[in-house]
């Protein structure tokens, strides 16, 4: 990309082969053919069919499909029907959640669906923004959204709002001079950029880049080029699926070969191998994980955190770093007067944003004149729409209106009382604005501007209503106060007046005071950052604003650590060597944000990125979890993110962190529950065959347990309340697996207890008949799993310390599972289908007492782990 900001206007016009009067229609048509329309090009989209087929990439699903095909070949229609149903259910749930996940480029296109005023054929005309070409002369005025990147050729008091692109919180004053070559986008004051807005003044500009060549187009390219990596949950489940697949094949082959070698019928042994395969596979796991995540999403939505990608839920619970934009995320994106200097002393002003709730650290009557000048020497308006304050004009002037309201001043009455009759407007050269008002037949001149400039116009000072001489010492005191306020990152304006002005209006004026303002931090953001610290999560501020401002806001929010600029970042030999020490990045470009996230990932961090602007989109997609602002956020940011905060409240992230941790805790609980239960089934069948027993439970009975009686309790574990210490733990290590060594031992121990108890019951009952013995084993195995699910409610706490009714859904699920087992045992149709017989009351007693042994063993294991 050419350094347009570094070139003279004549050179820019010459290079683009255009004139200050623009180009002709014929030339515009030729250039449109050459450069293409001024719009964002579509990336190759993922079709609905591709999204659906992606649901079948899990190894666990492959195993289910294999079992489904084998069941069909063997004409086991019930088995194949149930397995097929679970495959389809899982695919549909995943498809519905992911169908709308890739729309970032469509959102970028919306930003360019505008009209633009240009000079063509030496005449002013309005054309669709898509038809703008390099060399066109744009005509810009207050309120316009800019449609292409352009170099200013004429500028009259021009200011633009570039927060959505650069992160700059205040309007940027523009000029037409030549700038240095290597400066950031935020400092290119002789350029205007696509998607930004004119807040003041008017200008002419020659278009230098359109479509994908603009800054917003470069961001679109970054989004297209940024691959979305798998979440840790997806990786762990894939690894688990591959492991289970290997185990299934080994167990099935060994069982078949052992049976054949001992003289058993090959057909019988093939079915036994299938039974073992069914026992080893947690058929319900994909669906249970999906539904558990979906239920978590619903709960998070009630807390204003809208999740767009299911597996991303647990990622937030694992994050070690939250990279957050400043403007509009940690702050209100609303300038607020927070300090005055008047009558020789500082006065604090409370409140934030454009809400007039707030007061002063002193009697406002003593400095009412200062507030009145700020309200009268003002071209902005504040209006409340849908319970939100809207600014029409400069945000800095809007802040002055709010401070006046806090002093009890009625803006409307004041402006009627002091009718404006003339104005000397602000310019970058004058650095001040003066308005002349008339009241009761007398005139008064009011001035605001840079402190050193306004002071140079004054020879007197108003101190508590008395007019005194403005001495050199007092001027030095005022300038010292200005420096102190600027050191707190406040934007400082000075105010003065002159009664009965004549001759030069801006001479021999009376100095009144200073007002200092800042885009103030959100109170709830400060509290949220403290909670993040207690949860072991580092908060990093990444902003396009000035370093001094970023450091001041960071200090107010409690963000500690080194602060660097984007330019300094470019000169670091290795960011990854320094990234752990840096907490604030200022004056950054979109490319810097990607560089920061890459460096953090290299250090093993799970990175969440919050943002609301176009400039945030690539980083939102690159991060492990992108979090966009729902109210202030652009469509681009929302579509590139995995989660959207509906209330733009940083504090909502803390609730989402807790929910993410709770969900992952519960995923570990029901994975251990399903695997330990399946281990019990595998060991029961495998050991029974090895020691020469008949098949203790049939393949269909195992499928019934896995998909029907297991499913509801496993799902209910997914809504288990959070453990009391969940937000006092450090984030889990990225290398932590769902099934770690401790959990593996627990799975095997519980499986062995289930096997011993079930085979013991089967052996005891086999003296009568096989159907009765299989029914007893079937029922005992199912009751073992009901006891096992109670064990899993807490990984460390005894079940006797958990509030019994805190998860009513789990109790209901256990009740339903037992009721379904009753149906299988006593309903004639189901008896014929599953090969069961009716059991006596004492049979149930034996099964229940045997199954409770798993609770005793599990309690012992928890004691040992502690």
pLDDT in tens, 403-451: 999 999 999 999 999 999 998 888 777 889 999 999 988 999 999 999 9
Reply yes or no on whether the pLDDT at 865 is more than 90: no
Q: Give the fold, CATH level 3, of 4-42+107-225.
A: 2.70.150
The CA–CA distances, whole Å, from 840 to 222, 775, 825 equal 69, 11, 10
- DSSP 3-state assignment of 195? coil
Task: Tell me if residue 188 falls in helix, strand or coil.
Answer: coil
Which of 70-84, 92-106, 571-585, 835-849 is modeled with the greatest confidence? Answer: 835-849
User: Mapping DSSP to helix (H, G, I), strand (E, B) and coil, where does residue 418 land?
Assistant: coil
| Domain range 230-302+660-865, CATH class | mainly alpha
pLDDT of 228 higher than 60: no
Share of the chain above pLDDT 70, in %: 87
pLDDT of residue 259: 76
Secondary-structure percent of the chain, ordered helix, strand, coil, rounded to 5: 50, 20, 30
**Dihedral (C-alpha) 596, 598, 600, 601: value to the nearest 10 degrees?**
160
What whole-number distance in Å separates Cα of residue 659 and Cα of residue 296? 7
> Closest Cα to residue 556, out of 587, 588, 613, 518?
518
Of the pLDDT bands very low, low, confident and very high (cuts 50, 70, 90), residue 739 is: confident
Q: What is the pLDDT of residue 787?
A: 94
Q: What is the C-alpha end-to-end distance of the chain, expressed in Å?
A: 61
Spatial contact of 763 and 821, defined as CB atoms under 8 Å apart: no
> Are the CB atoms for 569 and 592 separated by under 8 Å?
yes
Lowest mean pLDDT among 133-142, 294-303, 463-472, 850-859: 294-303
Pairing of strands 191-192, 149-161: antiparallel
If you average pLDDT over residues 651-675, what whole number do you get? 85
pLDDT of residue 734: 64
| Domain ranges across the chain | 4-42+107-225, 230-302+660-865, 307-330+522-655, 334-520
Higher-confidence position of 773 and 834 = 773
Is it the case that residue 659 has pLDDT exceeding 60? Answer: yes
pLDDT tens for 280-289 read 767 556 666 7
Instruction: Count each helix (H run) and each strand (E run) in the chain, helices first.
Output: 33, 26
Active site amino acids: 325
**Rounded to 5 degrees, what are φ and ψ at 846?**
-60, -45
Give residue 108's pLDDT.
Answer: 39
pLDDT of residue 113 exceeding 60, the answer is: no
User: Is residue 374 scored above 90 in pLDDT?
Assistant: yes
Q: Which of 95-99, 527-531, 751-755, 772-776 has the lowest mean pLDDT?
A: 95-99
CB 479 within 8 A of CB 459: no
Q: What is the pTM of this model?
A: 0.66
Burial class of residue 752 in the structure, from the number of CB atoms within 10 Å of its CB (0-12 exposed, 13-18 middle, 19+ buried): middle
Which run of H or E residues covers position 558? none
pLDDT at 204 over 60: yes
Give the dihedral sign, CA 274/275/279/285: positive
Confidence of residue 112 (pLDDT cuts 50, 70, 90): very low
Tell me which DSSP letter residue 583 carries: E
Tell me the β-bridge partners of 518. 336
Identify the bridge partners of residue 128 per DSSP, sorted by sequence position.
115
Distance, CA of 48 to CA of 99 (rounded, Å): 7
pLDDT at 82: 66
- What are the tokens at 255? 């069982």
Pairing relationship of beta strands 509-521 and 331-342 according to DSSP bridges: antiparallel
Q: How many angstroms separate the CA atoms of 697 and 699, rounded?
A: 7
Give the pLDDT confidence score for residue 794 in this predicted structure: 84
pLDDT attached to residue 141: 83
Query: Can you list the alpha helix ranges (DSSP code H) found in 565-650?
Result: 566-571, 575-578, 590-602, 617-622, 635-640
8 Å CB contact between 406 and 151: no
Label residues 37-70 b or e (16+ Cβ within 10 Å = b): bbbbeeeeeeeeeebeeebeebbbbebbebbbeb
- pLDDT the model gives residue 131: 92
The dotted CATH code for 334-520 is 3.40.1110.10
> For residue 471, what are the contacts with CB-CB under 8 A and spacing of at least 6?
none
Look up residue 493 and give its DSSP letter. Answer: E
Q: What is the mean pLDDT of residues 704-718?
A: 77
With bands split at pLDDT 50, 70 and 90, how would you rate the model's confidence at 107? very low
Enter the tokens of residue 194.
Answer: 């696509």
CA geometry: angle 820, 823, 826, nearest 5 deg: 150
Contact assessment for residue 175 and residue 159, using Cβ atoms and an 8 Å cutoff: no
Provide the pLDDT for residue 455: 96
Query: Can you state the angle between helices 285-302 and 232-261, rounded to 10 degrees?
Result: 160
* pLDDT band per the 50, 70, 90 thresholds, residue 611: confident
Q: pLDDT digit string (tens) for 124-169?
A: 888 888 899 999 999 998 767 888 999 999 998 888 888 767 766 6
Does residue 282 or residue 863 have the better pLDDT?
A: 863
CATH of 307-330+522-655, one of 3.40.640.10, 3.20.20.120, 3.40.50.300, 3.40.50.1000: 3.40.50.1000
- Alpha-carbon gap, residue 33 to 23, rounded angstroms: 15
- Cα distances from 44 to residues 55, 104, 106, 221, 430, in angstroms, run 20, 12, 12, 12, 52
The DSSP bridge pattern shows strands 197-209 and 149-161 to be: antiparallel
CB-CB contact of 833 with 768 (8 Å)? no
Residue 729, beta-bridge partner list: none
Identity of the highest mean pLDDT range in 163-172, 253-262, 360-369, 769-778: 769-778
What band does 105 get if pLDDT is binned at 50, 70 and 90?
Answer: very low
652: number of Cβ within 10 Å:
22
- The whole-number pLDDT of residue 622 equals 85
Q: What distances in angstroms separate CA 590 from CA 20, 182, 273, 323, 615, one per listed residue?
A: 32, 16, 56, 13, 5
Distance CA 335, CA 492 (A): 12
In whole angstroms, give the CA distance from residue 369 to residue 375: 10
DSSP assignment, residue 473? H
The Cα 78–Cα 700 span in angstroms is: 8
pLDDT surpasses 60 at 101? no
pLDDT in the model for residue 53:
77
What percent of the chain is predicted at pLDDT more than 90? 35
Contact assessment for residue 169 and residue 545, using Cβ atoms and an 8 Å cutoff: yes
Q: Work out the mean pLDDT of the chain and round it to a whole number.
A: 84
Q: What is the pLDDT of residue 144?
A: 77
Cα 7 to Cα 206: distance, rounded to the nearest angstrom: 13
């Amino acid at each position: 990309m050419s350094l347009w900001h570094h070139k003279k206007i004549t050179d820019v016009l010459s290079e683009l082969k255009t004139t200050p009067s623009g180009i002709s229609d014929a030339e515009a048509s030729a250039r449109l053919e050459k450069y293409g329309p001024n719009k964002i090009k579509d990336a190759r989209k993922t079709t609905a069919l591709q999204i659906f087929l992606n649901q079948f990439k899990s190894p666990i699903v492959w195993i289910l499909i294999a079992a489904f095909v084998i069941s069909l070949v063997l004409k086991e229609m019930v088995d194949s029907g149930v397995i097929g149903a679970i495959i389809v259910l899982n695919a549909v749930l995943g498809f519905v959640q992911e169908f709308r996940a890739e729309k970032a480029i469509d959102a970028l296109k919306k930003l360019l669906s505008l009209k633009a005023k240009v000079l063509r054929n030496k005449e002013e005309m309005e054309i669709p923004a898509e038809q703008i070409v390099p060399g066109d002369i744009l005509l810009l005025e207050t309120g316009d959204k800019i449609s292409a990147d352009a170099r200013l050729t004429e500028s009259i008091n021009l200011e633009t709002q570039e927060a959505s692109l650069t992160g700059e919180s205040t309007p940027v004053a523009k000029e037409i001079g030549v700038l240095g070559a290597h400066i950031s986008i935020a400092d290119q004051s002789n350029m205007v950029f696509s998607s930004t807005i004119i807040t003041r003044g008017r200008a002419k500009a020659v278009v230098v880049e359109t479509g994908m060549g603009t800054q917003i187009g470069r961001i679109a390219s970054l989004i297209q080029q940024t691959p979305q990596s798998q979440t840790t949950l997806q990786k762990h489940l894939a690894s688990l699926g591959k492991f289970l697949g290997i185990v299934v094949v080994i167990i099935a082959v060994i069982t078949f070969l052992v049976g054949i070698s001992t003289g058993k019928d090959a057909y019988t042994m093939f079915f036994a191998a299938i039974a073992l395969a069914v026992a080893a596979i947690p058929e319900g796991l994909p669906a249970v994980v999906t539904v558990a995540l979906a239920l978590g999403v619903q709960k998070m939505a009630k807390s204003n955190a809208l999740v767009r990608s299911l597996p991303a839920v647990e990622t937030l619970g694992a994050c070690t770093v939250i990279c957050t934009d400043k403007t509009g995320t940690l702050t209100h994106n609303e300038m607020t007067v927070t300090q005055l200097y008047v009558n020789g002393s500082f006065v604090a002003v409370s409140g934030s944003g454009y809400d007039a709730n707030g007061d002063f650290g002193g009697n406002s009557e003593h400095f009412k004149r200062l507030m009145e000048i700020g309200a009268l020497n003002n071209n902005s308006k504040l209006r409340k729409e849908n319970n939100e304050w809207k600014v029409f004009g400069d945000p800095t002037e809007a802040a002055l209106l709010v401070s006046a309201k806090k002093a009890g001043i009625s803006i409307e009455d004041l402006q009627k009382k002091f009718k404006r009759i003339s104005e000397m407007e602000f310019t970058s050269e004058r650095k001040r604005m003066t308005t002349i008002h008339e009241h009761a037949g007398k005139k008064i001149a009011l001035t605001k501007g840079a402190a050193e400039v306004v002071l140079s116009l004054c020879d007197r000072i108003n101190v508590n209503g008395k007019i005194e001489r403005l001495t050199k010492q007092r001027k030095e005191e005022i300038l010292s106060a200005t420096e102190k306020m600027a050191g707190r990152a406040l934007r400082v304006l000075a105010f003065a007046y002159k009664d009965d002005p004549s001759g030069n209006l801006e001479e021999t004026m009376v100095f009144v005071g200073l007002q200092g303002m800042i885009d103030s931090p959100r109170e709830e953001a400060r509290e949220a950052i403290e909670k993040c610290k207690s949860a072991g999560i580092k908060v990093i501020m990444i902003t396009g604003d000035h370093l001094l401002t970023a450091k001041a806001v960071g200090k107010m929010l409690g963000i500690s650590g080194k602060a660097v600029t984007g330019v300094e970042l470019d000169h670091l030999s290795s960011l990854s060597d320094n990234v752990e020490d840096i907490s604030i990045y200022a004056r950054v470009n979109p490319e810097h944000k990607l560089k920061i996230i890459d460096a953090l990932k290299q250090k093993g961090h799970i990175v969440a990125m919050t943002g609301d602007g176009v400039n945030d989109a690539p980083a939102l997609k690159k991060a492990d979890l992108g979090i966009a602002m729902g109210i202030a956020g652009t469509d681009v940011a929302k579509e590139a993110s995995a989660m959207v905060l509906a209330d733009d409240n940083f504090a909502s992230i803390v609730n989402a962190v807790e929910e993410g941790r709770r969900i992952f805790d519960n995923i570990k609980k029901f994975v251990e529950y399903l695997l330990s239960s399946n281990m019990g089934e595998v060991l029961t069948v495998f050991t029974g065959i090895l020691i020469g027993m008949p098949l203790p439970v049939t393949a269909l009975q195992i499928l019934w347990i896995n998909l029907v009686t297991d499913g509801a309790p496993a799902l209910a574990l997914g809504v288990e309340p959070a453990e009391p210490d969940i937000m006092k733990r450090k984030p889990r290590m990225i290398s932590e697996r769902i099934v770690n060594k401790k959990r593996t031992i627990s799975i095997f121990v519980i499986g062995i207890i289930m096997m011993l108890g079930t085979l013991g019951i089967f052996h005891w009952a086999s003296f009568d008949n096989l159907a009765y013995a299989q029914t007893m084993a079937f029922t005992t195995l199912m009751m073992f799993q009901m006891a096992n699910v109670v064990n899993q409610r807490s990984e460390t706490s005894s079940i006797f310390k958990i509030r019994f009714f805190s998860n009513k859904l789990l109790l209901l699920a256990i009740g339903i599972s037992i009721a379904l087992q009753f149906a299988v045992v006593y309903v004639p149709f189901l008896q014929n289908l599953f090969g069961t017989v009716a059991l006596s009351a004492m049979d149930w007693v034996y099964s229940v007492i045997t199954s409770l042994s798993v609770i005793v063993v599990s309690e012992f294991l928890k004691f040992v782990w502690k």
